[in-house]
């Protein structure tokens, strides 16, 4: 299989996975009845939609030109989703500590989807040679790892809200 075939397979695999991730986050944003869970799922859905649109644009460019070197120059726009979500969660937690989602979000599914995305990008990172190509795949891996961190944070929040708030809220033991 030549590079062009590998890249077509890459685009098919990652675009399909991005769609699955969007559907997952969208579904659970609707089902979750607390603002923190809803905000996290909505932020993740929005981030995945931006990523999907970016990848579709890159795929169209690659399909049109067949020039990978041109495509890999377009790095994804970095939007620090985690900081925004955690700040919102801290504010919500301060207002109402009893406002947890009564619908159990299957976060393990989201974690698995994010890990699959990292694996796909990592597979292709291992196949490329130039620094430009490595930077391209590395940027996507960093984005997916941020998504993984967000899901692990929200999982910790649901398992131990007080512990989560102590860690993320940077509050001291005396509440100061």
Number of domains in the chain: 1
| Residue 126 lies inside a defined structural domain of this protein | yes
List of residues 6+ apart from 6 with CB closer than 8 A:
124, 127
Contact 47, 79 (CB under 8 A): yes
pLDDT tens digits along 104-151:
677 888 899 999 999 999 998 998 888 888 888 898 899 899 899 988
Q: Which domain holds residue 59?
A: 3-168
Give dist(CA 111, CA 135) in Å, integer: 24
Q: Please tell me the pTM assigned to this model.
A: 0.78
| Residue 174 lies inside a defined structural domain of this protein | no
Q: Cα torsion at 149, 151, 156, 162 (round to 10°)?
A: 90
Give dist(CA 138, CA 121) in Å, integer: 8
Contact 127, 72 (CB under 8 A): no
Q: Looking at residue 127, what DSSP letter applies?
A: T
- Indicate which CATH number applies to the domain containing 11: 1.20.1260
pLDDT tens digits along 81-116:
555 555 665 565 556 555 555 556 778 888 999 999
């Amino acid at each position: 299989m030549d590079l062009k075939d590998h890249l077509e397979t890459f685009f098919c695999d990652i675009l399909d996975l991005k769609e699955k991730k969007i559907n997952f986050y969208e579904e659970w944003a609707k089902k979750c009845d607390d603002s923190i869970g809803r905000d996290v799922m909505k932020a993740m859905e929005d981030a995945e939609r931006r990523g999907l649109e970016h990848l579709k644009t890159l795929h169209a460019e690659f399909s049109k030109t067949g020039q990978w070197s041109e495509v890999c120059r377009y790095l994804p726009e970095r939007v620090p989703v985690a900081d925004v979500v955690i700040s919102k969660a801290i504010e919500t937690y301060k207002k109402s500590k009893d406002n947890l989602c009564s619908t159990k979000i299957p976060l393990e599914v989201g974690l698995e989807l994010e890990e699959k995305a990292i694996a796909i990008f990592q597979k292709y990172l291992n196949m490329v040679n130039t620094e430009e190509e490595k930077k391209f795949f590395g940027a996507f891996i960093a984005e997916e790892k941020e998504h993984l961190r967000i899901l692990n944070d929200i999982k910790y929040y649901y398992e131990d809200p007080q512990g989560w708030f102590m860690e993320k809220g940077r509050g001291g033991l005396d509440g100061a």
